[in-house]
Amino acid sequence: MSENKTRRGFLGSLAATGLTAGVGAGAAYAKVDAPIRTSNLSSVGNEYVDPRKVLMYECTRKEIRERYASGKLKAAIIPTGSTEQHNEHLAIVMDIAGSLLMSQQAALKLWPQVIVTTPLPLGICPYWMKRQGTITLREETFINVVYDICCSVKTHGIDTILIMNGHGGNGKALKENAPKFASKLGINIEACSYWESISEEQKKEFTETGIVAGHADEFETSIALAAYPERVHRTTYEGTEPYQWNVDQEDLDRIGYYLADWDTPEWDRQSFEDSKLATAEKGEKIIAHAVNWIAEKLQGMIG
């Protein structure tokens, strides 16, 4: 099979997953080997499943009710991310798109045991506020929203929840608070970021730079090239964007903190240069590895 045909098949599988709702023209990584007229279905074990059916927000209340009543639904994934700048070339939706991508594919692997909630597309990213297009939440706001989602999921009878994170700025807050959520609600709740699937020793297996996870660099851009190439805009780096926002106390009171080191022209240019090393093939490898790791983690939580 030619490389082009393989890529077309991969991208075709993404188009079938129905990730357009909520995050734009997105897609997910799913092995599709269905006959004609069922090309929108994903091969899961011995059956074909509409990949949208693992997304709670794509289902009707009747479908959800029947899933609960069947006794087969054991766990939920809550995808979290952010709405933040991703350099000159990568769409702002990247973090939540990546989190939702991994969540949906892990849920498909464990069909019909797992469902994916509506993703939370806003996160903690005050350090990118010089860059227009970024929307940040205060940490307490973000954590309270995630907790409320957990409460809703528990109310309907699910007692295992994995919070799947796709944005580095959320990681610490989620790790600290997931055990508190579990204690308050009396259910099994854990939080992780999908790049935790790649150990320190494995980083060079997936990227030339060895940077996992970075920001809008080789790692993230490879994922985007594999799963949603339309979100990668190959352009030149002009270095002329003005740095005009002077952080004052009112801003700090509102957003919590600001890390200037993450927002220098030098750091920004290096991220852009590293993104040129990205390939779709690297992205496919990262996605497959992360999805398997997440599915195994969830299966362990379910027992």
- Which among 22, 50, 193, 37 has a CA at the least distance from the CA of 112? 50
Write the pLDDT tens digit of every residue in 191-205.
Answer: 999 999 999 999 999
Between 126 and 226, where is the model more confident?
226
Please give the average per-residue pLDDT across 117-133, as a whole number: 89
Residues 51-302, CATH architecture: 3-Layer(aba) Sandwich (3.40)
Write the pLDDT tens digit of every residue in 252-291.
Answer: 666 555 555 556 778 888 999 999 999 999 999 999 999 9
Helix (H/G/I), strand (E/B), else coil: 130: coil
Asked whether residue 40 carries a pLDDT value surpassing 60, the answer given is no
Asked whether residue 116 carries a pLDDT value surpassing 80, the answer given is yes
DSSP H helical segments within the chain, as ranges? 3-15, 61-70, 94-109, 139-155, 168-185, 203-206, 218-227, 249-255, 265-275, 280-302
For residues 14 and 30, the answer to whether their CB atoms sit within 8 Å is yes
Q: Is 71 exposed, middle or buried (0-12, 13-18, 19+ CB in 10 A)?
A: exposed
Choice among 65-69, 226-230, 236-240 with the minimum mean pLDDT? 236-240
Q: How confident is the model at residue 7 (pLDDT cuts 50, 70, 90)?
A: low
Average pLDDT, the chain: 84
Percent over 90 (pLDDT), the chain? 65
Choice among 66-80, 163-177, 178-192, 239-253 with the minimum mean pLDDT? 239-253
pLDDT of residue 234: 82
DSSP 15-50: HTT-TTTTTSS--------PPTT-TT-EEETTEEE-
Asked whether residue 49 carries a pLDDT value surpassing 60, the answer given is yes
Spatial separation of the C-alpha atoms in residues 101 and 96, rounded to whole Å: 8
Model-level pTM? 0.85
Structural domain boundaries in the chain: 51-302
